[in-house]
């Protein structure tokens, strides 16, 4: 589809979007990852592009049709690579959207050769990954807008609001894993968006395209929007 939205209210804005999962190598042939499809991130990217912004994707491994002419793309695999790419772009950005499902842990060591099967059980020691949104939140400059995501399975609103504060977000988009037809792999989603200044909106079950447009509308309502 083409960008049917004729508004250009984001013209002149530079937008960073982290999206997709990350892959954390165990050995040359194996990794730890998650079910993120990147569909929500791409919907947001298209919404910004359609409304005139210049969009920079820091893209984890996804199976999506992305028109390379529409975006500036840095393809990454691990959380460390995603952080490096996002950190480099961050100072020049007006808006940052952290939609990536970053693996929280990675194998403490990457085995140089394929790990051979043993008769015994085995375990993998995991180290904590860098929290990209948290780190970049510390260097958020005045006027810059940070949008985070939260995927929760219980006490959703409590956890989402805690992340809003901890990571210095202006908005947080809450995905409930309990919602039918929403979240990973689906083309539809139902989110609640919480703002730093205390607003909350519920999208209802709608297409990810519509969720994308809604997020842009909320970005414009933040006190730092100019
Ligand atoms: N995030 C990130 N880097 C990480 C982990 C998370 O940038 N290493 C970002 C996500 O992109 C999202 C937000 O932080 O915008 C919240 O991610 P989430 O996984 O829900 O929160 P965590 O802080 O990792 O807490 P937990 O997984 O324990 O709920
Ligand atoms: Ca996490």
Q: Residue ranges of the domains in the chain?
A: 14-103+128-221
- 19 pocket-lining for ligand 1 (C-beta < 6 Å): no
Which two structure tokens, joined as six digits, stand for 220? 């414009």
| The pLDDT of residue 5 is above 60 | no
The alpha carbon of 129 and the centre of ligand 2 are apart by a number of angstroms equal to 10
Summarize pLDDT for 18-46 with one digit per residue, the tens. Answer: 999 999 999 999 999 999 999 999 999 99
Which two structure tokens, joined as six digits, stand for 25? 């190598």
Under CATH, what is the fold of the domain 14-103+128-221? Rossmann fold (3.40.50)
- 132 pocket-lining for ligand 1 (C-beta < 6 Å): yes
Residues tagged active-site: 34
Give the rounded distance of the alpha carbon of 8 from its chain centre: 23
Mean pLDDT of 147-157: 94
Alpha helices (H) along the chain: 39-50, 79-89, 132-138, 156-166, 208-221
| The pLDDT of residue 1 is above 60 | no
| The pLDDT of residue 2 is above 80 | no
Question: Ligand 1 pocket check: which of 131, 174, 177 to mutate, most ligand atoms within 8 Å of Cβ?
Answer: 131
Does the annotation list 46 as a binding residue?
no
Ligand 1, atom 18, lies closest to the CA of 150
| The pLDDT of residue 72 is above 90 | yes
Q: What residue has token string 């042939």?
A: 29
One DSSP character per residue, 71-109 reads SEEEE--SHHHHHHHHHHHGGG-SEEEE--B--SEEESS
Question: Ligand 1 pocket check: which of 95, 136, 167 to mutate, most ligand atoms within 8 Å of Cβ?
Answer: 167
**What was the pLDDT predicted at 4?**
57
Q: Which residues pair with 32 in a beta bridge?
A: 24
Per cent of the chain over pLDDT 90 is 88
**What was the pLDDT predicted at 182?**
73
The alpha carbon of 99 and the centre of ligand 1 are apart by a number of angstroms equal to 9
**What was the pLDDT predicted at 180?**
75
| The pLDDT of residue 111 is above 90 | yes
Does the annotation list 77 as a binding residue?
no
């Amino acid at each position: 589809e083409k960008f049917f939205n004729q508004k250009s209210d984001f013209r002149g804005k530079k937008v960073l979007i982290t999206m997709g999962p990350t892959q954390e190598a165990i050995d040359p042939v194996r990794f730890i990852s998650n079910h993120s499809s990147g569909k929500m991130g791409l919907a947001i990217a298209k919404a910004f592009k359609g409304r005139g912004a210049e969009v920079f994707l820091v893209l984890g491994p996804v199976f999506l049709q992305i028109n390379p002419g529409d975006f500036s793309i840095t393809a990454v695999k691990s959380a460390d690579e995603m952080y490096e790419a996002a950190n480099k772009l961050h100072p020049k950005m007006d808006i940052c959207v952290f939609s990536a499902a970053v693996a929280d842990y990675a194998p403490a060591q990457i085995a140089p050769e394929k790990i051979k099967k043993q008769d015994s059980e085995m375990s993998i020691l995991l180290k904590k990954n860098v929290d990209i949104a948290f780190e970049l939140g510390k260097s958020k400059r005045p006027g810059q807008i940070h949008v985070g995501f939260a995927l929760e399975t219980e006490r959703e609103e409590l956890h989402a609001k805690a992340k809003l504060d901890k990571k210095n977000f202006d908005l947080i988009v809450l995905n409930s894993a309990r919602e039918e037809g929403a979240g990973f792999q689906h083309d539809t989603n139902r989110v609640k968006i919480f703002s730093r200044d205390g607003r909350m909106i519920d999208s209802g079950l709608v297409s990810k395209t519509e969720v994308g447009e809604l997020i842009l509308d909320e970005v414009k309502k933040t006190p730092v929007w100019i």
